[in-house]
Amino acid sequence: MALAEGISLRDHSHSHSDPEDDGVVLGDDFVAPKDDVEEELRARRARRGYLSRSNSSLTRKIITFNLIALNVLVAGILYLNSSRDGLAQQRANSLVSDVELIADVFEAQLPAAAPVNLVTGDGVNVSETLNGLDIQSGIEVYVFDIDSRLAGSVVGSLPPPGGVRELQPTIITDGVNWLWNTISGPFSAGSKLRAPPSVEDQARALVGPTLETGTRVGHGERQNSTVFSVASPIMRGSEPVGVVALASVSGEIDHLVRLERERVLQMFLVATLVSVGLSLILASTIANPLAELAAAAEIGGARNRGEGQQSGGRIRIPDLTARPDEIGRLSGALRGMVSALYHRIDGNEQFAADVAHEIKNPLASLRSAVGTMRLAKREDQRHKLLDVIEHDVRRLDRLVSDISNASRLDSELVKEEQEAFDLITMLGNLGQYLGEQAEKKGIEFITDFPDQPIVMTGLEGRLAQVFVNLITNATSFCEDGDAIRLWARMRDNRVVVVVEDTGPGIPEQALVKVFQRFYSQRDASDFGNNSGLGLSISKQIVEAHDGVIWAENIRPTDADITSDPLGARFVVGLPV
C-alpha cells in the first residue's frame, strides 16, 4: 500500500545491519569494533600514565586556582593577626603599673622642703633605691632628672613567673624571614646603615612628653626585637622632679608571635598538600574523562582524514552516562550524536541502494522495449512499445522527483521553524477540500472533530502533507459506495488523528512494511503510478514532531484476527 505521489520523505525506521559479536553497542543500533578503537584508547591511556592529570592544562588550572585562594586566606590571617597587638597591649599595661609603682617609691623618699637633685643624689639615693627593687629579667629601669640627664639605671635579674621557658624552634618562620630579608635586602640597604637608637636613648626620648602629659608609652626596634618603653613622672607635690622609665626588649613577645605564625604556616603546608591532593582527585574526575572523550573524537577525526594507522572501524565514545554530572550528560550527548550520525550514514547508504534498485527496474524495461522495437515489424507493435517507453519515462521522472524531495526533507525539517496553529482548523480545511474529490468518485467522506480548538506547536505545512497523503491514499483504494472517516480526539497531553476507510484493507504481511521506502501493494493496472515513498515520508514527518504513526485493519471483532478486514485505519499521535 502506498501514498499519493508528489510527497517524499526518508524513513528513519529502515532496518540496519545487525551488530557483530565483537562490537560494542552505542545507543540503539550503533556498533563500534573493539579491536581497533579500544586498543588505541588503551594505548593512549597507558602512554599518559596515572599522573597524566598533572600534565593537563585543566588540572594545572584547578590546582593553581585552589592554591591562590588558600594563599590569599593565609596571607590575610598573617597580615591581620591581632595576637601581637594583644600581647603588646598586655605588656604595656604591665609596664605602666610597674613604672607607676617605682615612681611612688621614689616619691615616698623625697624630703618635704629640701632641694632635690637626682643626678647628685641630694634628697634621695637613686642607686640604693634602684638596687632595692625586685626587677624581672629583660626589664631595664632608668631614672632621669627633669633635664633628661641619667641619674641611675638597673637591669632586672629575677626570673619571670613560672621560670625560664625553653624557646621552641620556628623553622618555617625563620626560613620565610630569611627568604624575605634576602629578597628585600638590596632595597633596604640604606636603612641598615642607620643604626637604631639605644634602649637608653629610646627611654630618654619619653622624658619631655612625660613631664608635660604624665605617663607615656613608646616602642621602637633593637636587634630585630621590639622595645617597649614606659615613663612616669616623679612628683613632689605638684612639681615633677624627675622621670622613671622602664624599657623591655620583648623578645618573648616576638617569639610568641613567631610561634603562632609557625603554627599558621604549618597548617598552611598541610592545607596545601590536602588542596593539591583534592585538586588531583577532582581533576581526575574531570580532566581524564574529558581527555578520553577528546581522544575518541581525535581518533575519529584522524581516521576521517586518513591519518590513522587503521582506516576502518567505527568510533567508540566512552560510556560515562552513569556519572550524575555534566560529564555524564556530555558523554551521553556525544554517544547519541555519534549514534545518530551512523544511523544517518546507514540510512543514506540504504537509501542509495534502494534508489539504485528502483531505477534499475524502469531502465531494464526501457532497454528491453528499445531492443524489441528494432525487431518489431508491425505498426501496432511499435505503438505498444512506445506506450511502454513513455510509461517508464514518466515513472523515472516521478522517481527522480520524489527521491530529490526525500533527500532534501531532512535538512528542511531542521531549518523550518515550528509555530503554534489550530489542528482542528487545518483538518477541517483539508476535509472540505479532499472530501469534495472523494465524493466525485462516489465515496462518502465523514469528519468528526471536537468543538474546542486544539492548539499545538509544529510545522503546519508538513503535518498537512501527512494527512493529505493518508486521505488521498485511502481515496485511491476505495471504490464507489465506500466511505472515509477523518476524526480527532484529545488524550491527556496528546492528540490522536485517525483516517479510516472501508476499502480492501492491508494484507497482514504488509502491515509492518507499508512504511518502508519504495514499498507498494497495488493492482497491476496501477503499477508504476506511485513511487512508494508516501508513507515513509509521513512517518518521518510525524517522528520529527515526536509523534507516532501506525497502520491496522478494521475487523468485525478483535477476537477473530483471521476474519476479512472491513477496511484500513491509520492512526497518528502527536504531543500537544
pLDDT digits (tens, 9 = 90+) for 317-369: 777 777 787 778 888 887 888 887 777 777 677 667 766 766 777 788 788 87
Domains in the chain: ranges and CATH: 81-249 (3.30.450), 346-575 (3.30.565.10)
pLDDT at residue 561 tops 70: no
> Residue 323 has what pLDDT?
78
> Which residue's entry shows cell 573493539?
34
Give the model's pLDDT for residue 1. Answer: 35
Average pLDDT, rounded, for the chain: 75
> Of all residues in the chain, what percent are helix, strand and coil, respectively (each to 5)?
55, 20, 30
Residue 313's pLDDT is 59
Q: Which residue has the cell 569494533?
A: 33
**How large is the average pLDDT for residues 529-549?**
79
pLDDT in tens, 475-506: 888 888 889 999 999 888 899 999 999 888 88
pLDDT at 3 over 50: no
Confidence class of residue 34 from pLDDT cuts 50, 70 and 90?
very low
Spatial contact of 91 and 250, defined as CB atoms under 8 Å apart:
yes
- Residue spans of beta strands (DSSP E) within 27-148: 30-33, 139-145
What pLDDT does 496 receive?
Answer: 93
What mean pLDDT do residues 552-576 have? 79
Instruction: State residue 195's pLDDT score.
Output: 63
**Which is it for the CA torsion 368, 374, 380, 381, positive or negative?**
negative
Average the pLDDT over each of 24-33, 167-176, 231-240, 515-524 and give the range with the smallest value.
24-33
DSSP symbols for 277-338: HHHHHHHHHHHHHHHHHHHHHHHHHHHHTT-SS---S-------TTSSSHHHHHHHHHHHHH
pTM: 0.46
Name residue 158's beta-bridge partners: 136
The better pLDDT of the pair 206, 278 is held by: 206
pLDDT at 305 over 90: no
Answer yes or no: is pLDDT of 15 > 70: no
All 3 cell numbers of residue 374? Answer: 528494432
Are 371 and 338 in contact by the 8 Å Cβ rule? The answer is no
- Partners of 569 in the β-ladder: 500, 552
pLDDT of residue 224: 62
User: Hey, what's the cell of 478?
Assistant: 476505495
pLDDT at 486: 92
The residue with cell 555519534 is 338
Rounded to 5 degrees, φ, ψ at 571 are -115, 130
DSSP for residue 518: T
Q: How many angstroms separate the CA atoms of 536 and 516, rounded?
A: 6
Average pLDDT over residues 35-60: 55
Across the range 510-514, mean pLDDT stands at 77
| DSSP codes, 533-548 | -HHHHHHHHHHHTT-E
Query: Which residues have a Cβ under 8 Å from the Cβ of 231 and sit 6 or more positions away?
Result: 99, 203, 206, 207, 209, 210, 215, 216, 218, 243, 244, 245, 246
Q: Which range has the top average pLDDT, 13-17, 76-80, 156-160?
A: 156-160
Quote the cell numbers at residue 172: 618555617
Closest CA to 532 of 351, 365, 348: 351
- Determine the Cα–Cα distance for residues 303 and 313; give it in Å rounded to an integer: 9
Residue 283: band (very low, low, confident or very high) from pLDDT cuts 50, 70, 90: confident
More confident residue, 51 or 176: 176
